[in-house]
Amino acid sequence: MNFVKLEGLGNDFILFDALKDDLSAINFHELAPKLCNRHFGIGADGLLIVRKSEKADFYMQVINADGSEPQMCGNGIRCFARYVYENYAKKSVISVETLAGIMLPVLDPKNNIIEVDMGEPILEPARVPVKFSGEKMLNAPVPVLDQTFAITAVSMGNPHGVIFVADVSAVNVPVYGAALETHEIFPEKANIEFCQILSRGEIKMRVWERGAGETLACGTGACAAAVAGVLTGRLDRDVTVQLAGGILKISWDADDNRVSMSGPAFQVFKGEVVL
């Protein structure tokens, strides 16, 4: 079974193409933990599977390292666009159906930046989903272990809990990220972003991803963090997000309410899985 390894700011994925190979017998939910293991497998934060779509050029299926299937993946859709550009006749504008809707990544080969319209943020607690009685969950205190975090809940098709702190390097992300990921307020679990304000146009962010752990970058998380920063009065609408793996540019348009994300993605190597 052929695969391509790709990365977007160090958030890395193993891509399989069901349009080129017969993958009908493969259970990727079961296979993901082994393939994503960085010692016993290839190593990755998740899988991307290229599939046929009736509504768009392609369908992108995302599987987290733990085998769970999220609605959307921001770094993943940029990697998907890079793969299509390199392997399907240099198409730089494509439509991709996902569980979060149809996305339109645009790859600029001159500067290797891929821009994606990530759609509108979802703030209604029941649709994030998060257990919260108010209209929007902004800076709500949530006790976890020996701390209390002020959480802003945003969905970009997948759930995020955004927390603003004075110094992200001082946060024990593996402990508190993991505890919040599975906190009972998030019935479908959540991705947890810890953000440090550098200016009204720039943040530093660390992320604990649902189903993957701490990663070097999270595209939907960067979008959720920018939206949370605007909603809580900390940020303007154009935000540079500094991640361990590099920089994402996020913009939340006041007129159409849509969030755009720009950043790189590259193929790293190709190989064959020996099952």
Binding-site annotation, residues for substrate = 11, 64, 74-75, 158, 191, 209-210, 219-220
Of the residues 36, 73, 79, 223, which is catalytic?
73
Q: How far apart are CA 266 and CA 232, in angstroms?
A: 34
Longest dimension (CA), the chain: 54
Residue 112, Cβ neighbours under 10 Å: how many? 12
Cα–Cα dist 104/92, whole Å: 10
The DSSP-derived string for 173-207 is HHHHHHHHHT-TT-TT--EEEEEEEEETTEEEEEE
Cβ proximity to ligand API, 17 vs 181, nearer residue: 181
**What character string, x for contact with ligand API (CB under 6 A) and - otherwise, covers 8-27?**
---x----------------
CA–CA distance from 121 to each of 31, 38, 106 (Å)? Answer: 31, 33, 20
Residue 191 binding ligand API, by CB under 6 A: yes
43 vs 200 by CB, closer to ligand API: 43
Span of 27-35, 130-138, 206-214, 242-250 interacting with ligand API by CB under 6 A: 206-214
Catalytic, 223? Answer no
For residues 145-164, which are near ligand API according to CB under 6 A?
158
Going along 24-105, which residue ranges are E strands? 46-51, 58-64, 96-98, 101-103
Its sign, for the CA torsion 43, 268, 23, 216, is: positive
Question: Residue 149's closest CA among 159, 164, 160?
Answer: 164
Please say which residue, 171 or 259, places its beta carbon nearer to ligand API: 259
Among 12, 17, 193, 209, binds ligand API (CB under 6 A): 209
Q: Which of residues 30-69 bind ligand API (CB under 6 A)?
A: 64
Q: In the stretch 215-234, what mask flags binding to ligand API with x, by CB under 6 A?
A: ---xxxx-------------
The end-to-end CA distance of the chain, in Å, is: 8
Of the pair 75, 196, the CB lying nearest ligand API is at: 75
Tokens of 112: 């290797």
* Whether 79 is catalytic: no
Which of these is catalytic: 36, 79, 218, 223?
A: 218
Q: Find the shortest distance in angstroms from Cβ 219 to ligand API.
A: 3
Q: Tell me the one-letter amino acid at 38.
A: R
Instruction: State the nearest-atom distance from the C-beta of 54 to ligand API, in Å.
Output: 24
Residues that bind ligand API (CB under 6 A): 11, 64, 70, 73-76, 158, 191, 209-212, 218-221
Q: Which residues are catalytic?
A: 73, 218
